[in-house]
Structure 1
Amino acid sequence: MKRLHILKAVLILAAMSLLLLSGCGGNIVLKQYKEVTADAPTATIKTTMGDIKVVLFPKEAPKAVENFITLAKDGKYNGIRFHRVINDFMVQGGDTDGLDGMGGQSKWGTPFEDEFSDNLWNFRGALSMANSGENTNGSQFFIVQAPASTITEDFLSQMKAAGWPAQVIDKYKENGGTPWLDKKHTVFGQVIEGMDVIDAMVKVKTDSNDKPLEDILINSIEVKEASK
């Protein structure tokens, strides 16, 4: 993946053009860059390398947020590894079966469907569902680490041709991210504190499967649900 994800990006950007052109009508509000209000739901992922605080988006991704909150409150993520870290890409964890990417169950015990919103994109810092294909969400998630330097002019040209909205393209250019994962992986949160922890994670030594040689663990996840 480390060597191939850029090539995959080129192919997927072209393949997704009709999907994006047909799915981005109306007004877009980039929720990931809105001020976080005091009543917003948040979660603090406490890891062996430091804390990562995210804001959650239950309106746009209700099932993904409910699933994450329930598993977190039930302690299902406690002691689970970040089993895959790739510099200029992302960090992945949340396999509640402890199988390092081969397992993990949703709160319902079965996979649940994707939830895509034109207000949420795989920008740097996005918290998104990992999956093995369409509508196969379980417990695993990833956090996008790719910085602005990874979004080349060629990427931007492809995105424009494929139908990404102008304001979305501008944010990718400014902040970075993984646009080839848009409409493929459900975004349900955004890092608001602790990107330095993510940046440190992707610098650790890994094996040939991008697994850290020394475990990076989730100690616990503290959830603050939305005020009612």
Structure 2
Amino acid sequence: MAVRAESARRRKRIKTIISGSAALVVVVGAVVVVTMLAMDDGDGAASAAASPESCVYQPVADPSAASPEPLPDGIQQVGAPDESSVVRSGVQLMTLNTSQGTLRIQVETGKAPCTAASFTHLAGQQFFDETICHRLTTEGIYVIQCGDPSGSGMGGPDYRIRDENLPVDKVPTYPEGTVAMANAGANTNGSQFFIVYQDSELPASYTVFGHVLQGLDIIKRVASTGVEPTDPSNPGDGAPKAEVKIASMIIDPAAPSLPDLPPASPLPAMSTPSVAPSETASPAS
């Protein structure tokens, strides 16, 4: 009975880790932390999304509408990347300078070129500067979610990216150090991403575009301080008690391999106080 009860609780956590209501997901493409899909009880499996020959950045607003549609709350008009800027080989170094320390991430440009081009495009516009990582999960799955300028879980750019480089048939699907896209369903990627700080079994529905080279200890330290739950019945999901604010995101040009990294900097003193749940919580799902 105890095993069955724990299984039920874990299933509930997986089903409820959503940012935004189902209605809003349909209307504005709200982004899930991970995951909008329940763990599959059957034999179904996601199919791997190969990188398309051309990147399709789908506008959030209908471009064929007779009059321009207002963008949903939290969506910023930045324009989509130019197809000519997409690089389809090599890797890139992403440097995240945060209030808790510096993370360095290898972006798998050759495996997820459309996603990599989008991050390069957005970082070049300082899209991520002075944004918080608005969500942390500490039970069942182990991720921190960032990349929403609104800090609500509902924000992003005015376009969506197709899935690519899905980790089908990999165990675990999202190992420690993975950096992947949060989404609101198939082919709805925007700017929100998550960093896995402990092996997590999730449906293979989230584009993997990189892995942490330095700084995962920063996220683990933040996770150890816990969360401010947005729902009392799901105490392991909410804003991190120790705020993580991205001061800047820098992405280097693509290269066949990365140069040697500088030594990791000592961790700064833990930045507190925490952000109040009312300031970061997503709408109830």
- TM more than 0.5: yes
Instruction: For 1:97-112, list aligned pairs within 5 A.
Output: 98-105=150-157, 109-112=158-161
Which amino acid is 1:114 matched to? D
More displaced 10-residue stretch of structure 1: 122-131 or 65-74:
65-74
Measured in 2, the distance between the counterparts of 1:7 and 1:40 equals 34
Q: Do residues 41 (structure 1) and 68 (structure 2) align?
A: no
Q: Write out per-residue CA displacement over residues 25-50 of structure 1, whole angstroms, 9 at most, x where no aligned residue.
A: xxxxxxxxxxxxxx731111111001
- For residue 228 of structure 2, give the secondary structure of its aligned residue in structure 1: coil
2:162 aligns with: 113
For the Cα contact (< 8 Å) 1:60–1:117, is it kept in 2?
no
More displaced 10-residue stretch of structure 1: 133-142 or 197-206:
197-206
Q: Which runs of 5+ in 2 are unaligned?
A: 1-8, 17-34, 50-89, 231-237, 257-285
Q: Which runs of 5+ in 1 are unaligned?
A: 25-38, 147-176
Instruction: For 1:46-125, list aligned pairs within 5 A.
Output: 46-87=97-138, 89-96=142-149, 98-105=150-157, 109-117=158-166, 121-125=173-177
How many residues in Structure 1 have an aligned counterpart in Structure 2? 176
1:226 aligns with: 254
- For residue 250 of structure 2, give the secondary structure of its aligned residue in structure 1: strand
Q: Write out per-residue CA displacement over residues 57-76 of structure 1, whole angstroms, 9 at most, x where no aligned residue.
A: 11211111111121112110
For the Cα contact (< 8 Å) 2:96–2:250, is it kept in 1?
yes
For the Cα contact (< 8 Å) 1:13–1:180, is it kept in 2?
no
Question: Closer, same or farther in 2 for the Cα pair 1:11/1:110, shift >3 Å?
Answer: closer
Question: Closer, same or farther in 2 for the Cα pair 1:124/1:192, shift >3 Å?
Answer: same
Question: Closer, same or farther in 2 for the Cα pair 1:99/1:197, shift >3 Å?
Answer: closer
2:45 aligns with: 19
Which amino acid is 1:216 matched to? V
Instruction: For 1:185-224, list aligned pairs within 5 A.
Output: 185-209=206-230, 210-224=238-252
For the Cα contact (< 8 Å) 1:52–1:191, is it kept in 2?
yes
Which of the two has greater helix per residue?
Answer: 1
- TM-score, normalised by the number of residues in structure 1: 0.67
Q: Write out per-residue CA displacement over residues 170-219 of structure 1, whole angstroms, 9 at most, x where no aligned residue.
A: xxxxxxx223232x100000001111011012123422221134532001
1:135 deviation in Å? Answer: 1.0
1:6 deviation in Å? Answer: 5.6
Which amino acid is 2:254 matched to? A
Which amino acid is 2:214 matched to? E
1:140 deviation in Å? Answer: 0.4
Higher relative contact order (CA 8 A, sep 6+): 1
1:14 deviation in Å? Answer: 3.5
